[in-house]
Structure formats: structure tokens, C-alpha cells
Amino acid sequence: MEALESAAQGLLESYEMSGGVNHAAGPNLPSRAAVLSALEVLETLVFPGFRQEDGIDETNLDLVIGELVQRAAKVLVRETERGIEYRRRLEGGSGCPAACHLEARDLVLRFFSALPALRDILMEDVEAAFRGDPAAKSVDEVILAYPGLEAVVVHRLAHFFWEEGLPLIPRMMSEHIHGKTGIDIHPGATIGRRFFIDHGTGLVIGETAIIGDDVKLYQGVTLGALSVRKGEGGTKRHPTIEDSVTVYSGATILGGCTVVGRGSVIGGNVWLTHSVPPLSRVYLPEGDGAVVESREPPAASCP
């Protein structure tokens, strides 16, 4: 017992010296458990009947959906308020119980107002996966069983809050689905319509990446930064992938000035740190460097 008491005392001294404690008294951080419980409800609202046993049928859909909206909104307002308070503390401000609550409520209302349009975009993602994967037998199978789609669902939800400047909560959402699927999409990444991730494990999309419409990425693809210097956090560090591009497994595309032109195909295991023109074919022939074949002028890139 004395040894355990000594260990506990050592932990208390560590907290005093090093910090890293989220105190429940006073302003505190959003609850990870609460955010993830709300996320589970949001996934059900996007695809009712697919994500959990919710007892939905044609006779009670309106009642069940109404109750789920209320449940998720209540949690999100509370946790968003905490996130806004945290942002104000980072900016050097003081507490804001009333003002932060009103701001949180308005943000959550905007989110639920935007949810039907987000759902329309996600249904296009479902169709893109169904059309793009010969193994998919139905759209229902895609919704039920495709981790790539689940990662895209969470990204589109988290991205809304990221665009609103809300800290912590979007990252909680994205890191939860990263751990679940092995697909790492930063909530700041901008992703166009009809996006399809095939297989997906090990895929990484960085914060400032821009992805156009009708893009298809395979497992192990990295859209990353050339530099990881802390001082460059506010710059565009990740590539731009234009419309109708396919990037095969293991390809690494780096740099904020790198643009992959529309309609291009990037082969497996390619290492790319410069822009390529539209309609390019980039591949690795045996025993040689990457080959770029294109019928158009080079894509625009940084000076």
C-alpha cells in the first residue's frame, strides 16, 4: 500500500510540474465520449437503419428521426460550447458562459440545416463507390460494409465544424474514424463530390489537400507535405488533385505546390513532388524512374 501511495504522490507531483490535466471544475475541454456518442447518432441520421438497431420503419420514421436530432443537438451544443470556450482561452480571452452558449447553439443549428445537403453529397459518394468497384453488388452493401465510405461520411461531418473554426471536436471525429478504419483524413482537407476510397487502409490526406470531383484513391496513398516545419502550419502544404484523377495504391504525392492535372492516372508506388499536366499517366517502369506521359501542357504550380 505504501508503494501505491508513493506512486500516486509521484503522479500528483507530475501533474503539478507538467500539466496535462483537464479539470472538471470550471471551463473544461469537450468530452471525447460525448462527441463520439453524438457522431454515432449523426451517422444514423445520414443512413437511417444502417448504423445501429434503431427500430425505424415506415410508420415511425418522423418520430425516430426527430428524437435522434434532439438527442444529438443537445450533446453537440454542450460540447461545442466547450470548444468555443477553449478557442477563446487560446486567443487570450476569458470565459463566456452566455455568449459561448448562444454561439454554440447557432453553429449547431446551422449544421443541422446543412445536413440534408451533406446527405445528398454522401449519396453521390455511395453511387461513386458502387460504380467504381466491380465487387460491389449493391448500394446497400456499400453503405453497410465499406470502410472508405464510413471515413468519407465522418470527414464531411467533421469538415463542416472545421470550416466554422471549431477546435478539437473535428479532430476527435477524424481520429476516431482513423483508428477504426486505418484511413487518416484531416478534417481541414477539401474534398469534392463523388469521392471514392477503395480499400483505403493506410491512406493519408493532409490538412491543406484539395481534391476535386470524381477522384478515386486506393490504399496506402499519401497526399502529404514536403516540409513538416512548425512555422509553415498556416501555408498550403499538401497537393491539389484535380477532377477525375485516379491514384493507385502506395503512391506518395507531396507538396502544396504540386498539382495533379484533371483526368490523370498516378500508378502504384509512384513518388511525386512536382506537378503533372492534365491527362497524364505517371508510372514506374521496371528499374527506372517515374515516367510521365501527357497530351496537354503542364498543370499550374507555385513559383
For domain 189-303, which CATH number applies: 1.20.1530.20, 2.40.440.10, 2.160.10.10, 2.40.50.140? 2.160.10.10
pLDDT at 197 over 70: yes
Q: What is the pLDDT of residues 17-74, one digit of tens each?
A: 888 888 766 668 999 999 999 999 999 999 998 876 666 777 888 888 999 999 999 9
Please state the pTM of the whole predicted model.
0.90
Q: pLDDT of 97-107, one tens digit each? A: 789 999 999 99
Q: Residue 92: helix, strand or coil by DSSP?
A: coil
Q: Which three cell numbers stand for residue 197?
A: 476510397
d(CA 221, CA 203): 5
303 compared with 277, residue with greater pLDDT:
277
**Distance spanning both ends of the chain, measured CA to CA:** 66
pLDDT reported for residue 177 = 98
Can you give the pLDDT at residue 55? 67
User: How do residues 167-183 score in pLDDT, each as one tens digit?
Assistant: 999 999 999 999 999 99
Q: What is the pLDDT of residue 299?
A: 62
For residues 5 and 303, the model is more confident at 5
The band of 93, judged by pLDDT with boundaries at 50, 70 and 90, is: confident
In sequence order, what are the beta bridge partners of 31?
none
SS3 184: strand
Side-by-side strand order, sheet with 216-218: 196-198, 216-218, 246-247, 265-266, 281-283, 291-293
Nearest CA to 149 out of 95, 71, 213, 217 is that of 217
**Lowest mean pLDDT, pick from 67-76, 87-96, 291-300:** 291-300
Q: How far apart are CA 212 and CA 299, in angstroms?
A: 14
pLDDT the model gives residue 209: 98
Q: What's the pLDDT score for residue 152? A: 98
The pLDDT of 129-154, averaged and rounded, is 97
Q: Alpha-carbon distance 196 to 77, whole Å?
A: 31
184 touches 200 (CB < 8 A): no
For 70, the grid coordinates are 434532439
**CB of 223 closer than 8 Å to CB of 273:** no
pLDDT tens, 212-239? 999 999 999 999 999 777 777 789 999 9
- Residue 299 is given by DSSP the state P
Confidence of residue 118 (pLDDT cuts 50, 70, 90): very high
Give residue limits of the domains in the chain. Answer: 30-183, 189-303
DSSP class per residue in 93-153: ----HHHHHHHHHHHHHHHHHHHHHHHHHHHHHHHHHHHH-TT---HHHHHHH-HHHHHHH
**CA–CA distance, 48 with 70 (Å, rounded to integer):** 15
pLDDT the model gives residue 97: 73
Instruction: Grade residue 287 by pLDDT with cuts at 50, 70 and 90.
Output: low
One-letter identity of residue 115 = L
- Check residue 122 and give its pLDDT: 98
Answer positive or negative: Cα dihedral of 113, 117, 120, 121: negative
Task: Please give the pLDDT value at position 270.
Answer: 96
User: Could you say which DSSP state residue 231 is in?
Assistant: G
Type of residue numbered 173? M
Mean pLDDT of the chain: 92
The superfamily (CATH) of domain 30-183 is: serine acetyltransferase, domain 1 (1.10.3130.10)
**Cα-based torsion angle of the residue sequence 195, 199, 204, 210 in order, rounded to the nearest 10 degrees:** -10
